[in-house]
């Protein structure tokens, strides 16, 4: 294959050919040689490797930087017959620091596509898979495009327990630490002044789940975070608050249930709600973890233990 433009070659091959070496390591039976902007490929996986190079060129042409992590994810996607160029260049919005916010894995792409296509989307998976962060990004995009009139971010404060009373300040000050991850995601999307204005105008509302009772939420983008810590009664209450013109994302990790007695409103919900039009469940796994490499390996270790227990 011929790469369209010699200027792409340094980024394609990587510093000291690091990307080329990674590809050769992933396809050891395939011979790859490079001369100028021509890449020659031969061997049993030549078709797959050629497709990988074509995808990486498209990724570069669409403004995404290549590093060893991106190349590794791209190899995994091509091996799964997925297209990295469709995943890694899907712009959600432009963040506070001017960088494009995009999915980084095929699972994340499936997640944001589900949010686009459904009224209610459940994103279930371990820490580090971007469930809450991408949901907030989609919410900000919906607000900026005027698809909704406000954003509501909520989560249960179950883990606070009786410790809540020992924290200083009024009720909102006491529960603020439990809502802080949602604030952090919001500040990643918008600058500080913009966030403050939206909060003051109540265009963005951040509140504990208990504050949702008795309300009907119209024309809103609503995110329920840490949903594994809801009770079945709280989950029913929340899902029946949804009004016209609203979109909902529910995120949770069923391996981290802190609700007293373990009666999680998220467990068993998929079986009960499957088949309802406009509602989707997306499961993210260790391959979708976008934090430090060690986080993915920790998640994989827990998944292996869980699978072993399930088998036994």
- Mean pLDDT of residues grouped by 10 in the chain (312 residues)? 89 95 96 93 95 96 90 94 94 82 94 97 93 95 96 77 47 66 87 92 89 90 94 94 95 87 90 95 90 71 67 49
Q: What is the dihedral of CA 178, 181, 182, 185, to 10 degrees?
A: 170
Around Cβ 168, how many Cβ atoms within 10 Å? 6
CB 151 within 8 A of CB 204: yes
What DSSP character marks residue 208? E
Whole-number pLDDT of residue 164? 47
What DSSP character marks residue 264? -
How far is 271 from 218, CA to CA, in rounded Å?
27
Alpha-helical runs (H) found in the chain: 9-13, 18-26, 46-61, 68-79, 84-88, 106-117, 131-144, 171-189, 192-200, 232-239, 269-273, 293-311
CB 126 within 8 A of CB 284: yes
Whole-number pLDDT of residue 5? 80
Q: Using N-to-C axis directions, what is the helix angle for 18-26 and 68-79, rounded to 10°?
A: 30
Structure tokens at 228: 């594994």
Could you tell me the domains of the chain? 6-88 (no CATH), 95-311 (3.40.50.300)
Q: Let me know if 96 is exposed, middle or buried by CB neighbors in 10 A (0-12, 13-18, 19+).
A: middle
How far is 48 from 162, CA to CA, in rounded Å?
57
What DSSP character marks residue 255? T
- pTM (2 decimals)? 0.85
């Amino acid at each position: 294959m011929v790469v369209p433009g010699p200027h792409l070659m340094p980024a394609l091959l990587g510093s000291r050919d690091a990307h080329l070496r990674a590809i050769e390591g992933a396809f050891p039976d395939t011979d790859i040689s490079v001369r100028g902007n021509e890449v020659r490929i031969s061997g049993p996986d030549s078709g797959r490797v050629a497709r990988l190079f074509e995808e990486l060129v498209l990724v570069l042409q669409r403004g995404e930087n290549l590093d060893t992590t991106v190349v590794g994810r791209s190899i995994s996607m091509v091996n799964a017959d997925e297209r990295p160029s469709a995943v890694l260049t899907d712009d959600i919005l432009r963040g506070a620091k001017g960088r494009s916010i995009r999915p980084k894995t095929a699972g994340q792409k499936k997640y944001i596509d589900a949010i686009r296509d459904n009224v209610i989307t459940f994103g279930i998976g371990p820490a580090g898979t971007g469930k809450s962060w991408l949901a907030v990004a989609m919410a900000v995009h919906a607000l900026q495009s005027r698809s909704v009139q406000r954003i509501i971010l909520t989560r249960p404060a179950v883990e606070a327990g009786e410790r809540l009373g020992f924290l200083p300040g009024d009720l909102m000050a006491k529960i603020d630490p439990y809502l802080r991850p949602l604030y952090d995601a919001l500040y990643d999307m918008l600058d500080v002044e913009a966030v403050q204005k939206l909060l003051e105008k109540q265009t963005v509302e951040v509140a504990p789940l208990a504050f949702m009772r008795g309300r009907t939420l119209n024309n809103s983008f609503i995110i329920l975070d840490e949903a594994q810590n809801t009770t079945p009664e709280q989950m029913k209450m929340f899902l029946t608050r949804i009004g016209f013109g609203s979109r909902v994302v529910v995120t949770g990790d069923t391996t981290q249930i802190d609700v007293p007695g373990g009666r999680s409103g998220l467990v068993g919900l998929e079986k009960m709600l499957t088949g309802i039009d406009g509602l989707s469940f997306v499961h993210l796994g260790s391959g979708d973890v976008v934090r430090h490499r060690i986080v993915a390996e920790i998640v994989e270790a827990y998944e292996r233990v869980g699978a072993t227990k399930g088998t036994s």
